[in-house]
Amino acid sequence: MFYEPRSGHGLPHDPIKAIIAPRPIGWISTLDAEGRPNLAPYSFFNMVQTRTPLCMFSSDGMKHTAANAIATGEFVFNLVSRPLFDAMNATSAALGAGVDEFEAAGLEKGACHKVAVPRVAASPASLECKVVHSMELHTVDGTSTGGWLIVGQVVGVHINEEFLTDGLFDTVKAQAVARCGYRDYSQVTEMFSALRPTDNGAYRPGGGDH
């Protein structure tokens, strides 16, 4: 089938988020201008550069998290693990401004080193970020979508050493959870490695993975 999003898909639910999946869950903690903590999950989150580590999240509307990040210039990404799934899901509730989602979800706060924002202490890994870009998103004809994109530079990294295996972060052991389409999620339970053409000549076409 083929369809143009502006004309509708004719399916029971929009398939695009199921096609672009799995996606890392941006479990983002912030402080508002009055210093009150906020914590919420975002379906649209990812790294955008590594040499200078940059990550981004997108907010469908100017919600508390985006407003806080823009106002204070800081946010923290907290990795969602399977044991933390229920707490993450609870923090998606539409609570009032100033309500502490850490407390509402029964989560302990951890201190950060480079930002004032607290992190989720039980998360396998957290990234302290300083905002470097924020922009309102528009359509091809310049109409505002109401969405906002926030890009942060990673200035500090927290890793629970329990999830390091031979010096590598063990995504399977961390039981990382990703967002898929509809109301679906995925847990990383298996990994495979593959060489690339830039790996000093070690790559062979058709060599498969290992």
Does 196 fall in a domain?
Answer: no
pLDDT value of residue 143? 96
Q: Tokens representing 96?
A: 């009032």
3-state helix, strand, coil in the chain (%, to 5): 15, 35, 50
In this structure, are residues 55 and 48 in contact, taking their beta carbons and an 8 Å threshold? yes
**197 within domain boundaries:** no
Confidence of residue 201 (pLDDT cuts 50, 70, 90): low
Secondary element (H or E) of residue 26: strand 26-31
Give the confidence band of 199 by pLDDT, cuts at 50, 70, 90.
Answer: confident
147: nearest Cα among 43, 60, 63 = 60
108 belongs to a structural domain: yes
Residue 99: the pLDDT is: 85
Task: Encode pLDDT of 122-138 as tens digits.
Answer: 999 999 999 999 999 99
Res 25: pLDDT: 97
List pLDDT tens digits, range 7-51: 999 999 999 999 999 999 999 999 999 999 999 999 999 999 999
The CATH number for 33's domain is 2.30.110.10
Residue 4, domain member (yes or no): no
* Reported confidence tier of residue 203, pLDDT bands at 50, 70, 90: low
Residue recorded with tokens 């639910």: 13
Backbone torsions φ then ψ of 156, nearest 5 degrees: -160, 140
pLDDT digits (tens, 9 = 90+) for 57-110: 999 989 999 999 999 999 999 999 999 999 999 999 988 887 899 999 999 999
Asked if residue 56 belongs to a domain, the reply is yes
pLDDT at 144: 96
**What is the pLDDT at residue 194?**
84
| 202 within domain boundaries | no
Residue 96: give the domain boundaries.
16-187
pLDDT of residue 196: 79
Is residue 54 included in any domain, yes or no? Answer: yes
206 inside domain: no
Q: How many domains does the chain have?
A: 1
User: Whose structure tokens read 């044991």?
Assistant: 83
